[in-house]
Amino acid sequence: MLVKKETLALIARENSLDKKIRLGTGELKSGGWRRDSILANTLEAIIGAIYLDSNIEECRVIINKLYEDHFKLIDPKDVRKDPKSLLQEYLQSRKKSTPIYEVIKEKGSSHNPEFTIGSKIELLDEIVTATGNSKRKAEQEVAAKILHLLDAKKIKK
C-alpha cells in the first residue's frame, strides 16, 4: 500500500515535486508533471539517491518524515495483497513453481499501449492470458484469473 504508484505520487505532490521536476519538452506539453508514474519514479529516484549519498539510517529518517501521515492511516489488519503476491504465496506453500509471466502480444502506441500476458502453472493445464495497458496490470489480471480458476476447481494439492 505504501509503495504503490498512487501512494508514491501522492507523497510526491505533498512535497511539491510536481513543481520541481525538470521535464523534456514533450513531457511538459503533455502534462507529465501530473502523471502518477513520473511522480512516483521521481520520488523513488530521490530516495535511492539519498541512500546512495548517505546511508540506510539517514534514508530511514527521510522516509519516516515523508510517510508520517500515511503511517497513521494504515490498519495492519487491513493490508490487502495483490493477486500476484497471493498466487506466489499459494504456490510456494504447496511447494510448486512460481509462475512465469510472458508477453504474448504488444500493440498500440507508447502513450496507449496494450499488453497481452500469459502464464501457466503446474496445477492447471491451460495457459491463462489477460490484457492491460501495462505489463504489470496484465500480470496482475492473469494472477487473479489463475486464483479464480484454482478456487473454482478447489485445488488443494
Range with the poorest average pLDDT among 55-59, 107-111, 116-120: 107-111
pLDDT of 100 reads: 93
Summarised one tens digit per residue, pLDDT across range 90-107 is 999 999 999 999 999 999
pLDDT of 152 reads: 84
Summarised one tens digit per residue, pLDDT across range 37-68 is 888 999 999 999 999 999 999 999 999 999 99
Please report the beta strands in the chain, taking only residues with DSSP state E, as ranges in sequence order. Answer: 102-109, 112-119, 128-132
Contact 123, 96 (CB under 8 A): yes
Other beta carbons within 10 angstroms of residue 138's beta carbon come to 23
Domains of the chain, with CATH numbers? 5-76 (1.10.1520.10), 83-153 (3.30.160.20)
